[in-house]
A and B are shown apart, each in its own frame.
Chain A
Amino acid sequence: MDDSPVPASGSSGVSTEIVIAGAAESERLGVIPDESIWQLAAGPTLAALAQCGLTVADVDGIASTLPVVELAYYLGMRPSWLDGTVVGGCSYMLHVRHAAAAIRSGAASVVVVAHGESGRSRVGSPPMVPNPSSAGGQFEQIYGMAGAFSSFTIPTMAYLHRYGLDETALAEVPVAQSAWASQNPRATRGKLLTTDDVLNSRMIAWPFRVLECCPRSDGGGALVLMSAERAADLDLAHPAVTVLGSGEASEAPGSSFMQDLTSFRGFRDSSAAALREAELSTEDIDHLMVYDAYAHLPFYGLEDIGFVGRGEAYEFIRSGATRPGGTLPMNTNGGGLLYAHTGMYGMFAIQEAVRQLRGDAAVPVPDVHTSLVQGVGGMFAAAGALVLAN
């Protein structure tokens, strides 16, 4: 409407600095048959609060992909702000973005973002039931698209063909990331890989071999967010990490419905928003996490965020730029492909960026001051991006 007031984008709340004051993963990661999804979320929640010198009683906001009422009940919380956004594995990037807005608005003061998923053992997990009347149910699943490995992967050959690459290009992603994972004792797949190791691994959905698909893991993680002002009054165990910018976006409910098979609008829109809010460009970013449930995603991420030009991601990764000592250290925990992947991996990508920025990563990147974390949800469905700094 013409006479509507200009949004108060310059109001004092927008300038409030938001920090991640506590961040923890489950002590164990991988195969945890003796813990439910609730335990997997509660353990790191209490650990992350302890890093801040806080308890459950200090928390007034909670966000999770788990049923958020039941999680708050489980933890004995009495929240006055709840966010149950579930848009796939990038949901945690959206939770952080929403929490920052809530803290700025005064709707919450201490927010826990918690993840627990029994992706392998499925202890306490709800059954996974496809909906045959959804767009995906009517027009994708009937063709034997029966899991992420057989749907998320389908656009890849269009991408490779467009840039004159063959299917062996995908192998360079786990090979490069194994330079990180092989130094990380928590990585599920901790072996230093060769191209042949990857190409000779079991075929899942040509062109994807098993080492180009994430493992299924049990695990959890939690973040504690608050204003920098509040954090300054606490005796934090680790330096706080600032949320400089965030973005979220969606495109379509399945990979067959995306506009361009070689580029994901969600990556483009969410990363642009996060960088714009942070008032940074890709040249200012020291460290990158790109959600890599499958080996093609770092190609899309590097190009859609704008770190490299169209069709250049393969050569960039092959050049060593994303490995230890490279110009853009990427997926430095080993990535979802090699570190762990519970199903909604976004929490672990954020955790690694936080560890790098506060200096307690398993394989530390020297002189890191900024990190961009790019998440994807569903099969090129939703996206969330964060720009973090120390």
Chain B
Amino acid sequence: MAKPVPVPTPETQFYWDRAKERELWLPKCGNCGRLHFSPRAFCPFCSSVDIGWIRSSGRGTVESFIINHTPGPGYAEQGPYAIAFVLLDEGIRLASNLLEVEQTPTAITIGMPVEVTFEERGEWTIPQFRPAGAAA
């Protein structure tokens, strides 16, 4: 079974289009200036429809995580895997797996600096995170 892929909606199409270019972008309100996530057509803080996008630094830290021993669809072959919440430097939280690191609670720690990377999944490109500076 293949890993799941998203079905974008008009609000999220830009996010997934940029991901395909291996870029991480976040919605930002042109009225109140605040970032939000998940992407919406209306600002959840001021209800403005003036939603623009900024490119994320792609840097953040591990805010919380589990190591899942009961795999979801498409995840059965790789053994236990981390699912983390990453707090971006911009203050937005994203769910992610943690790539290029041992999938154990000793190798992964709360507060660990991470950076965005991208996983090709069929026709899709999925934002993922790995320890900061892991790039060879």
- Asked if B64 and A144 sit within 8 Å, CB to CB, the answer is no
| A144-B81 CB under 8 A given contacts A205-B69, A205-B70 | yes
A267 within 8 A of B: no
Bound-state CA distance A146–B76 (Å) is: 12
**Distance of B31 from chain A, by nearest CB (Å):** 21
One of A132, A144, A167, A256 near B5 (C-beta < 8 A): A132
Minimal beta-carbon separation of B132 from chain A (angstroms): 19
Q: Would you call B41 an interface residue if the criterion is a C-beta within 8 Å of the partner chain's C-beta atoms?
A: no
Q: Could you mark each residue 61-88 of chain B with 1 if its beta carbon is under 8 Å from any beta carbon of chain A, else 0?
A: 0011111111111110000110111000
The answer for the CA separation of A132 and B94 in the assembled complex, in Å, is 17
Q: What 1/0 flags go to A150-182 for Cβ under 8 Å of B?
A: 110111111101000001000000000000000
- Which listed residue, B37, B69, B95, touches A143 by the CB 8 Å rule? B95
Least CB distance, B67 to chain A, in whole angstroms: 4
A207 contacts the other chain (CB 8 A): yes
Whether, in the assembled complex, A145 has its beta carbon less than 8 Å from a beta carbon of chain B, the answer is: yes
Whether, in the assembled complex, B56 has its beta carbon less than 8 Å from a beta carbon of chain A, the answer is no
Contact assessment for B64 and A157 in the assembled complex, using a CB-CB cutoff below 8 Å: yes
Q: A137-B7, A138-B8 are in contact. List 13 more A-B contacts (CB 8 A).
A: A138-B6, A138-B38, A139-B6, A139-B94, A141-B72, A144-B68, A144-B81, A145-B95, A150-B72, A155-B64, A158-B110, A161-B111, A207-B105
Determine whether the beta carbon of A153 is less than 8 Å from that of B66: yes
Size of B's binding interface in residues, CB under 8 A: 39
- Structural contact, A143 and B7, CB atoms closer than 8 A: no
Q: Check if B4 sits within 8 Å of A156, measured CB to CB.
A: no
Closest Cβ of chain B: how far from A153's Cβ, in Å? Answer: 5
Q: A161, B65: Cβ atoms under 8 Å?
A: no
Contacts of A140 in B (CB 8 A): 95
State whether the Cβ of A133 lies closer than 8 Å to any Cβ in chain B.
Answer: yes
Q: Is the CB of A157 within 8 A of B6?
A: no
A149 to B69, CA, bound (A): 10
A-B contact count (CB 8 A): 119
Question: How far apart are the CA atoms of A205 and B80 in the complex, in Å?
Answer: 8
| Contact assessment for A147 and B70 in the assembled complex, using a CB-CB cutoff below 8 Å | yes
Partner of A156, one of B64, B68, B74: B64
- Cβ-defined partner of B4 (8 Å) among A141, A158, A159, A206: A141
| Inter-chain contact A142/B85, CB cutoff 8 Å | no
Choose among B64, B69, B75, B97 the residue that contacts A261 (Cβ–Cβ < 8 A). Answer: B64
B96–A154 touching, CB < 8 Å: no
List A77-98 residues whose CB lies under 8 Å from chain B.
none
Q: Does B43 contact A (CB under 8 A)?
A: no
Q: Report B27-49 CB contacts with A as 1/0, cut-off 8 Å.
A: 00000000001100000000000
Q: In the bound complex, how far is the Cα of B72 from the Cα of A156, in angstroms?
A: 20
Chain B residues with Cβ under 8 A from A205's Cβ?
A: 66-70
A144 near B72: Cβ-Cβ < 8 Å: yes
Q: Is A316 an interface residue (CB 8 A)?
A: no
Question: How far does the alpha carbon of A137 sit from the alpha carbon of B12 in the complex, in Å?
Answer: 12
> In the complex, which residues of chain A have a beta carbon less than 8 angstroms from the beta carbon of B67?
205-206
Find out whether the CB atom of B74 lies under 8 angstroms from the CB atom of A144.
Answer: yes
Interface contact A256-B110, CB-CB below 8 Å: no
Decide: A145 and B83 in contact? CB cutoff 8 A. Answer: yes
117-151 of chain A: CB within 8 A of chain B: 130, 132-133, 135, 137-147, 149-151
A144-B93 contact, Cβ under 8 Å, with A154-B83, A157-B110, A261-B64: no
Cβ contact within 8 Å between B85 and A261: yes
Q: How far is the CB of A321 from chain B (nearest CB, A)?
A: 27
Which residue from A142, A147, A208, A255 sits with its C-beta under 8 Å from B126?
A: A142
